[in-house]
Structure 1
């Protein structure tokens, strides 16, 4: 069976279908990232934990992801994508087994931690591998494939979990059996990919991801918009089911999973819609969508409106999708192949750190003062961050902007 060829840094490029196939492992791992979302209310009922504990379990995912980003980017650039991706897929499978057999909050926390590690490695090495496969002639296509695979996988996970948990026995087991099958196929794809070995290098293996001077503006712009966007979607994923159940009267797990799916479907669709726009336009649009999402979230809670909450979630997805795609596009145009994974890791560290801290803070604040007040405070902080991000883009985007 022929391998899937890629030689980054040369004129050789592969077909469009091969670029999309290379993105399959990213999608498969990200299906797991949010699959537990509609199941949290089930585990809450069985194990009896609070909103603060729920967001702490969710934050374990971010901790694992950030920890992986401190290693995976450097490791991938030095020894190659495949030695990082294959263990990441295996860790995701182990996490599936833990989720399916979880009988305590501690097991859920460990499963989320392992999921975060797998996702962090995939964000760094997997997305860089898609760029490697695309070659120099398909950088923008590769950025689109990698970014859309990430958000589409993140959306399919909760949708499948909601559907399977409501329609089949063992609501907290079936989705993870299905996910193991998806991950096995992803493992096979990674094995077939003919990715280059890393050139090695010097310096510490564990470090805060560093970016060469020519790529720092690109990473800054990505973080400025991606961070508020993914923080908004992280809130919907962690506390969204509780808000739907307790405040908006929508406790069905298919509704919770479907809402997360629609949110990430918006994140996916918007990337295709804006793929030929200028970078500055994409990033400003992402910041505006996130700010508007937070305004709509507050309105939804004040009016107890499920429809407005759904609109807020979709806008949050659009904000994340545009920020992520804009950042990846800027990085692929500004950073050399031998530092690409580390630059991707740097953008994700900047995005996921507030996505861990702010929803976690909102969860414990909600325990103290109520979900409505906690969510409103969260919305104000994230909305202000989106406005600051837009100001940064207006000042700095011209240095890396790319026309159609």
Structure 2
């Protein structure tokens, strides 16, 4: 019994380290308007600065996605914390765009290392029979940490001094504390190998996965694109169109999307994998429709509802997609199939966001947002209809 308590304590501490790292990746979200004022760049530049993060994540997933299986969980997590600390230093030293790009890239490298390694580490540390609860801890740490980033930065920027510095100072302190915690946690990989044995993990799709993968990937793409817009463009919309200048409010609205996504992922157990994916697509469509209404009529409460409903749909769809493709993949190809899904998802968090930025320069933020919503809603509808038709065929 004491052994189980110790293992759960270690599991929760690892989850806290995971949350601290992920919080750093969304910390700049409510601060982009301040950086625009300081450096004088456009909304397009904001979206590119944001999207650089996704390129870092994708690079790590492709080149070193299985590194923690080879060299151990703790060494990879220590490197991830190092990248997180360097990212914070870049933002503290920022005197121009180059620092912001570098900081976001380092943040992406940190998240790429943590996403897989920390999830597995939390599950490894749980006592026997606790995999389901450990999965909940990992999910809550990942998305909860992403939500805590803008919430923390918004509160500090609004109610404390040095709005462009204090959030990153606080995060550096949290990263240092996380490193101290990680030093005291055990390694869970028994057979470790030198770092030069890590090989790039090429995504792949066995034939039996392709029918499931296509709608799952579309849903993941749309869901991450919605989160990407919330974390990159919504602060500008709230300021310019809704006259919301309170950084804490902006951070809280963005955080709500991530917290709702956590709820959606946890609800998969209640709805079941087969129903979660089409229900998630419906939630994404509803969230996009609410966001369109917010853009059209400049209503704050619709933005809040969009974060709540769209975030829940994203969580439901993504965990359903992950379960579907992992279940359809043969064991020897599961890692490469899951990597493929994550690559598609993080492409969704980058390219559409940049597209919104490009359109903003020519037709304005609200119109660009409506074009984005129309495209994503079409994709969500296609995926949802395909899944429903497939479910009908299977039941018949």
TM-score, normalised via structure 1 length = 0.86
Question: Taking structure 1 as reference, are residues 339 and 79 closer, same or farther at Cα in structure 2, changes over 3 Å only?
Answer: farther
Q: Report the 3-state secondary structure (helix = DSSP H, G, I; strand = E; otherwise coil) of the residue aligned with 2:65.
A: helix
Q: Any conservation in 1 of the 2:265–2:318 contact (CA below 8 Å)?
A: no
Question: Residue by residue, what CA displacement relative to the aligned partner does 1:346-399 show, whole Å, maximum 9, x if unpaired?
Answer: 32211010210001011111111111110001001111122233245446679x
Larger deviation: 338-347 or 96-105? 338-347
Q: Which residue of 1 aligns with 2:18?
A: 26
TM-superposed deviation, 1:45: 0.4
Larger deviation: 64-73 or 128-137? 128-137
Q: Which residue of 1 aligns with 2:314?
A: 320
Decide which of 195, 215, 219 is 2:188's aligned counterpart: 195
TM-superposed deviation, 1:221: 6.1
Q: Which residue of 2 aligns with 1:10?
A: none
- Aligned equivalents of 2:357, 2:81: Cα separation in 1: 30
- Aligned equivalents of 2:17, 2:325: Cα separation in 1: 21
Question: Taking structure 1 as reference, are residues 215 and 189 closer, same or farther at Cα in structure 2, changes over 3 Å only?
Answer: farther
TM-score, normalised via structure 2 length = 0.88
TM-superposed deviation, 1:127: 1.5
Q: Which residue of 1 aligns with 2:357?
A: 363
**1:101 and 2:93 aligned:** yes
TM-superposed deviation, 1:178: 1.3
Question: Residue by residue, what CA displacement relative to the aligned partner does 1:316-366 show, whole Å, maximum 9, x if unpaired?
Answer: 211222233334445676779987765543322110102100010111111
Q: Report the 3-state secondary structure (helix = DSSP H, G, I; strand = E; otherwise coil) of the residue aligned with 1:137.
A: coil
Question: Taking structure 1 as reference, are residues 137 and 331 closer, same or farther at Cα in structure 2, changes over 3 Å only?
Answer: farther
- Residues 5-404 of structure 1 mapped to structure 2, 5 A cutoff: 16-134=8-126, 137-191=129-183, 192-197=185-190, 205-210=199-204, 222-330=216-324, 343-394=337-388
Larger deviation: 383-392 or 154-163? 383-392
- Aligned equivalents of 1:231, 1:136: Cα separation in 2: 37
Q: Any conservation in 2 of the 1:76–1:198 contact (CA below 8 Å)?
A: no
Q: Report the 3-state secondary structure (helix = DSSP H, G, I; strand = E; otherwise coil) of the residue aligned with 2:173.
A: helix
TM-superposed deviation, 1:18: 4.2
Question: Taking structure 1 as reference, are residues 333 and 149 closer, same or farther at Cα in structure 2, changes over 3 Å only?
Answer: farther
Question: Taking structure 1 as reference, are residues 144 and 223 closer, same or farther at Cα in structure 2, changes over 3 Å only?
Answer: farther
User: What is the aligned residue count?
Assistant: 391
Q: Any conservation in 2 of the 1:283–1:326 contact (CA below 8 Å)?
A: yes
Larger deviation: 185-194 or 168-177? 185-194
TM-superposed deviation, 1:170: 0.6
Question: Taking structure 1 as reference, are residues 143 and 223 closer, same or farther at Cα in structure 2, changes over 3 Å only?
Answer: farther
Q: Report the 3-state secondary structure (helix = DSSP H, G, I; strand = E; otherwise coil) of the residue aligned with 1:193.
A: coil
- Aligned equivalents of 2:22, 2:361: Cα separation in 1: 29
Question: Residue by residue, what CA displacement relative to the aligned partner does 1:27-55 show, whole Å, maximum 9, x if unpaired?
Answer: 11110111100000000001000010110
CA RMSD of aligned residues (A): 3.2
Q: Which residue of 2 aligns with 1:8?
A: none
TM-superposed deviation, 1:289: 1.1
TM-superposed deviation, 1:220: 5.6
